[in-house]
Amino acid sequence: MKKAMKIVLIILSLIILIVGYFYWKGYQLKKGYEANEIQYTKKRLPADINFPKSIDSTLISRGKRLSNTLHCTYCHGDLLQGRETEERVSPNLTKVRHQYSNAELVKAIRYGINKDGALIGGDMPSAESYYHLNDTDIKAIVAYIRSLPNLSNENIPSTYGNKNGTSIFDLIRGGYANVFLGWEPNVDEFVYSSPRPAYPSDGIMRYGQYLSQTHCARCHGENLSGENGYWETADLAVGAGYSLDQFERLLREGKALGDRDIGFMTKLAKGYLSHLTDSEIQAIHSYLKKRADSSREN
Ligand code: HEC
Ligand code: HEC
């Protein structure tokens, strides 16, 4: 009997050692991965943005509208007062803003790096979308964040981020894959293209491209050709098949051709994209049409 106990104990400790080793390996990998991501992100940092001394109310109301169309409000709450959903906890921006300079807020939004120089988790779409925001729009958002009253939000925990982030099991699995399959996280996916031109002043097409990049890329992919991961989305060429009226209906009421509700897109359109102006919707539509035409020619 005693012998059997001993054997069980030995086997148990072996298992704990092995699992512990994989966990440690996975943790090291994750740290290395994050360090690389930050390093690449730093390469993208722009020249400083000059903020005007006095902020006029047009800039603030532009920022307010952007906070809706870019659906910051979906995650951070209607007045950016913080919000907890099933997937994530997004901080109360009226509280944390005091710890940030304007330039640091820009860095947080565009580059997804917080004031401590760490990556902002929780799938905030900086890399795919907000990175492309031009100086005027990013200033407008910062001005809007500054203009809000202090809102307390007792419901928001002090630790936040993606609830479906790296679990202990993910780490163990990652460590296991690394030891036995020689698997490494793919760092190259964080090498970004060079910055886009600052402001699309040359016509509706460029404006449409800018709006699509900043508003649609989070889910339809950085080059708008659809995603096949967490989001399973179509190439935005689909939108080129819509007439302008139909396209407006999609972005305002969330109704796709044939009167279909299409999951999260319907929710996003109704609550957030519906704040886009007529001319913005028109610009996106024109751009998607042009994009589809030129990809047919190639
Ligand atoms: C998909 C959800 C999501 C969207 C959309 C989103 N955020 Fe976030 N954001 C988060 C989460 C989650 C965090 C905290 C993540 C962490 O660090 O763990 C965060 C962190 C931040 C921070 C840093 C706060 C701090 O505590 O240091 C700022 C600033 C911020 N977001 C601004 C914005 C703005 C402005 C927009 C829109 C342009 C936006 N976010 C859109 C989820 C989102
Ligand atoms: C938060 C994620 C998200 C964002 C941001 C987003 N979409 Fe979507 N979109 C979806 C999902 C999910 C679907 C449904 C799956 C599919 O058919 O691609 C969808 C579907 C679509 C479709 C297909 C409609 C059809 O006929 O089936 C079009 C067109 C579209 N989106 C346009 C846009 C445009 C334009 C933007 C930016 C202004 C945008 N989406 C931003 C998630 C998003």
Query: Which ligand sits closest to the CA of 249?
Result: 2
Provide the pLDDT for residue 212: 94
Provide the pLDDT for residue 268: 97
Provide the pLDDT for residue 52: 78
Provide the pLDDT for residue 165: 64
List the domain boundaries for the chain: 1-43+166-193, 46-163, 200-297
Provide the pLDDT for residue 196: 46
Q: Note whether 46-163 and 200-297 share their fold.
A: yes
**CB proximity list for 4: less than 8 A, separation 6 or greater:** none
Q: Which residues line ligand 2 (CB under 6 A)?
A: 215-216, 218-220, 231, 233-234, 236, 238-239, 256-257, 262-265, 268, 273, 284
Low-confidence spans in the chain with pLDDT less than 70 = 1, 43-48, 158-159, 163-166, 184-203, 298
The CATH T-level fold of domain 200-297 is Cytochrome Bc1 Complex; Chain D, domain 2 (1.10.760)
Residue nearest atom 39 in ligand 1 by C-alpha distance = 72
Provide the pLDDT for residue 194: 46
Q: Which atom of ligand 1 approaches the CA of 133 most closely?
A: 38
Distance 241 CA to ligand 2 centre (A): 13
The CATH T-level fold of domain 46-163 is Cytochrome Bc1 Complex; Chain D, domain 2 (1.10.760)
Provide the pLDDT for residue 197: 45
Provide the pLDDT for residue 45: 63
Compute the distance between CA of residue 196 and CA of residue 173 in angstroms, rounded to an integer: 38
Q: Which residues line ligand 1 (CB under 6 A)?
A: 67, 70-72, 74-76, 88, 90-91, 93, 96, 105, 108-109, 114-115, 120-125, 130, 141, 160-161
Instruction: From 87, 88, 215, 233, give the residue whose CB has the most ligand 2 atoms within 8 Å, as the site to mutate.
Output: 233
Compute the distance between CA of residue 194 and CA of residue 44 in angstroms, rounded to an integer: 8
Distance 109 CA to ligand 1 centre (A): 7
Residue nearest atom 5 in ligand 1 by C-alpha distance = 72
The 10s digit of each residue's pLDDT in 208-231 is 999 999 999 999 988 899 998 788
168 CB-contact burial (10 Å; exposed 0-12 / middle 13-18 / buried 19+) = exposed
Order of strands, sheet of 83-84, starting from the edge strand that comes earlier in the sequence: 83-84, 88-90, 161-162
Compute the distance between CA of residue 271 and CA of residue 215 in angstroms, rounded to an integer: 14
